[in-house]
C-alpha cells in the first residue's frame, strides 16, 4: 500500500520502517506509536531524500529531544568551523540540527550537512531567501519564496520552520499593543517587514496549501514558527503571542487534512510561574501537536550564561508538556557561537531534557540515574565517568586533582561517606588519621 507521509501511513494502518526503529528506541509498542502519529500527537521528521537519517520521534510519551542551531552569517562565514560544530552535535547524540545559514553557498553546505548527518535536519527557508536570491527583501516575489522552500525540501531537509501565523491580523495586534522588544524572531521580523513594505499578506499564510503540497511530496514536517514569541520576560503571554498561537492551531488542522506532520514552536522568554500555563495553552489551542520551545529563558539579565537560564526554563517546560528543546549557547544575544559554545549549549539542554524525562516517567530515564547512584555508592569512579553526560569533562576534573587516598576524590579524601559506609556495613573498621 502506498503512502505519502508518516502520518498518511499511520492513518492507513501501515507500519513504516521508521516507526519500527522509533518504537524500539522509545520502549513503546509500534501500534501505540502508529496511533499517536495518526492523531498528530507524535511526528517522525524523515524526508524521503535524507539517506542516512537515524529516525527519531517528537511528541507524546517520547523522550524529550534536543535541537542544535548552527550556520554561518555574513559577519562570520567559516563553513569548516560549522562542520566541526555539526560533528560535535552528532558525536554528542543531538537528535536534530538546524542550519540557520543566511550567507554564501548555503546549498552546498546544506547538502553536505544532510549527507553526513544521522540527525534530523531543520532549516528556516526565509533566512536563506535573501542571500540565495541576492535581492532586496522588498523585491522578493511569492514564487521566489516558494522556490526556496522547494529547494530545501528537494535537498532532504526533514523539518522546516515557517512563520505562517504572522498574518495581517497578527501584525495589527502587534502595532496596537506595543511590546518592549517588538518582534525578535528573525524569520518573523523579515516577513513582517516584507508585508509592511509591500502592503500584502504573508505569502506563507495566504498560499498555505501550496506550502503543504511541497511538505507532503517529500514528507517534510512543518514546524509552525512563533514569530511573536516573547523576546523578554516583560512581553510573555501577551496579546500578539496568543493571537498567533490561535492561528497556528487553525493551521495545524489544515496541515493534518493533507497528512502533513506538524510541530508548534513556542517561547521564548518568560518567568518561571508562566511556563506551565503556556505549555497547557499550546497543547489545548494546537490540538496536542508536539511543542518545540526555545528555552524558555527565565530571566533577561545573564548574557554569557543564557545556556543556564534556558536550561532552567527548558526543564520546567518539558516536564509540563513540551516535547522538543532548542538549545541556547553562552553566546546567545552576543555573537555567533563557536565550537566550545555549541558544546556547552548541548550539555545544558541535554541535562534539561533528561531532568524532564525523569519527571515525566519516560521509560529508561530513571535507570540511568540509578546506575550512576550505584556506581557512586560503590565508589566506582570509572563507571561514574562513563555514565556522565559529559565523560570527557568528568574525567578531566577527576584526574586534575589526585587524592591522597586511592578510591576517593579530593573533596572528602578518607572522610568519603560512600567509601566509609561501604566498609562499615561490610563489618570492617575505618581509619582516618593513618597515612
| pLDDT for residue 351 | 98
pTM of the entire predicted model: 0.95
208 has binding-site annotation = no
DSSP letter at 378? T
Concatenate the DSSP letters of all residues of 165-232 into one string.
T--HHHHHHHHHS--SS----HHHHHHHHHHHHHT---HHHHTHHHHHHHHHHHTPEEEE--TT--SS
Domain boundaries for CATH 3.20.20.540 within the chain: 57-360
3 has binding-site annotation = no
1 has binding-site annotation = no
Residue 193: HSE in the Cβ half-sphere, 13 Å Cα cutoff: 16
- 388-429: per-residue pLDDT in tens? 999 999 999 999 998 888 888 999 988 999 889 988 999 999
Nearest to 161 by CA among 207, 116, 99, 218: 99
62 has binding-site annotation = no
The low-confidence residues of the chain, meaning pLDDT below 50, are none
| pLDDT for residue 133 | 86
Nearest to 162 by CA among 264, 250, 232: 264
CA distance 17 to 420: 51
144 has binding-site annotation = no
Q: Who contacts 314 (Cβ-Cβ below 8 Å, separation ≥6)?
A: 293, 295, 296, 322, 325, 349, 352, 353, 356
Exposed e or buried b for every residue in 81-91, given b needs 16+ CB within 10 A?
bbeebbebbbe
215 has binding-site annotation = no
226 has binding-site annotation = yes
Please say whether the beta carbons of 356 and 279 come within 8 A.
no
- 74-131: per-residue pLDDT in tens? 888 888 899 999 999 999 999 999 999 887 778 999 999 999 999 999 999 998 888 7
CA distance 384 to 199: 60
CA distance 15 to 11: 10
CATH architecture under which domain 57-360 falls: Alpha-Beta Barrel (3.20)
307 has binding-site annotation = no
Provide the pairing of β-strand 120-123 with 221-224.
unpaired
| pLDDT for residue 434 | 64
User: Quick one: cell of 387?
Assistant: 555514565
| pLDDT for residue 435 | 54
166 has binding-site annotation = no
269 has binding-site annotation = yes
187 has binding-site annotation = yes
- 57-78: per-residue pLDDT in tens? 999 999 999 999 998 888 888 8
61 has binding-site annotation = no
Exposed e or buried b for every residue in 115-145, given b needs 16+ CB within 10 A?
eebebbbbbbbbbbbbbbbeeeeeebeeeeb
Please say whether the beta carbons of 270 and 231 come within 8 A.
no
CA distance 63 to 27: 10
13 has binding-site annotation = no
Concatenate the DSSP letters of all residues of 239-288 into one string.
HHHHHHHHHHHHHHHHHHHTT--EEEEE--B--HHHHHHHHHHHHHHTTT
Amino acid at each position: 500500500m502506498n503512502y505519502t507521509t508518516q502520518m498518511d501511513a499511520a492513518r492507513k494502518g501501515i507500519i513504516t520502517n521508521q516507526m519500527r526503529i522509533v518504537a524500539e528506541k522509545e520502549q513503546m509498542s509500534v501500534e501505540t506509536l502508529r496511533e499517536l502519529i495518526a492523531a498528530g500527537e507524535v511526528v517522525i521528521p524523515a524526508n524521503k531524500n535524507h539517506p542516512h537519517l537515524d529516525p527519531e520521534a517528537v511528541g507524546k510519551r517520547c523522550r524529550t529531544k534536543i535541537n542544535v542551531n548552527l550556520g554561518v552569517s555574513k559577519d562570520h562565514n567559516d563553513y569548516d568551523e560549522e562542520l566541526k560544530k555539526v560533528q560535535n552535535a552528532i558525536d554528542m547524540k543531538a537528535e536534530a540540527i538546524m542550519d540557520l545559514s543566511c550567507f554564501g553557498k548555503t546549498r552546498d553546505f546544506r547538502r553536505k550537512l544532510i549527507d553526513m548527518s544521522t540527525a534530523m535536519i531543520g532549516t528556516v527557508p526565509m533566512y536563506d531567501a535573501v542571500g540565495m536570491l541576492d535581492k532586496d527583501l522588498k523585491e522578493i516575489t511569492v514564487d521566489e519564496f516558494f522556490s526556496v522552500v522547494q529547494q530545501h525540501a528537494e535537498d532532504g531537509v526533514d523539518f522546516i520552520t515557517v512563520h505562517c501565523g504572522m498574518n495581517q491580523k497578527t501584525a495589527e495586534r502587534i502595532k496596537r499593543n506595543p511590546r518592549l522588544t517588538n518582534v525578535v524572531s528573525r524569520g518573523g521580523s523579515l516577513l513582517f517587514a516584507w508585508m509592511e513594505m509591500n502592503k500584502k499578506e504573508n505569502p506563507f499564510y495566504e498560499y498555505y496549501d501550496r506550502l503543504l503540497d511541497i511538505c507532503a511530496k517529500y514528507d517534510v514536517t512543518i514546524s509552525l514558527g512563533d514569530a511573536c514569541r516573547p523576546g523578554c520576560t516583560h512581553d510573555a503571554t501577551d496579546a500578539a503571542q496568543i493571537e498567533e498561537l490561535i492561528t497556528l492551531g487553525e493551521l495545524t488542522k489544515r496541515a493534518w487534512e493533507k497528512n502533513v506532520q506538524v510541530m508548534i514552536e513556542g517561547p521564548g522568554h518568560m518567568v518561571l510561574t508562566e511556563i506551565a500555563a503556556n505549555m497547557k495553552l499550546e497543547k489545548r489551542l494546537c490540538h496536542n501537536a508536539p511543542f518545540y520551545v526555545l528555552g524558555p529563558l527565565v530571566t533577561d539579565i545573564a548574557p554569557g550564561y543564557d545556556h543556564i537560564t534556558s536550561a532552567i526554563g527548558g526543564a520546567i517546560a518539558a516536564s509540563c508538556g513540551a516535547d522538543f528543546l532548542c538549545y541556547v549557547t553562552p553566546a546567545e544575544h552576543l555573537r555567533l557561537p563557536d565550537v566550545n559554545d555549541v558544546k556547552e549549549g548541548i550539555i545544558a539542554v541535554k541535562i534539561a531534557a533528561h531532568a524532564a524525562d525523569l519527571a515525566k516517567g519516560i521509560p529508561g530515564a530513571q535507570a540511568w540515574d540509578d546506575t550512576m547512584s550505584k556506581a557512586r555508592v560503590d565508589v566506582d569512579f570509572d563507571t561514574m565517568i562513563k555514565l556522565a553526560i559529559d565523560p570527557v569533562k568528568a574525567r578531566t576534573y577527576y584526574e586534575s586533582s589526585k587524592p591522597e587516598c586511592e578510591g576517593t576524590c579530593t573533596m572528602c579524601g578518607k572522610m568519603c561517606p560512600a567509601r566509609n559506609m561501604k566498609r562499615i556495613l561490610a563489618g570492617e573498621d575505618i581509619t582516618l588519621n593513618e597515612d
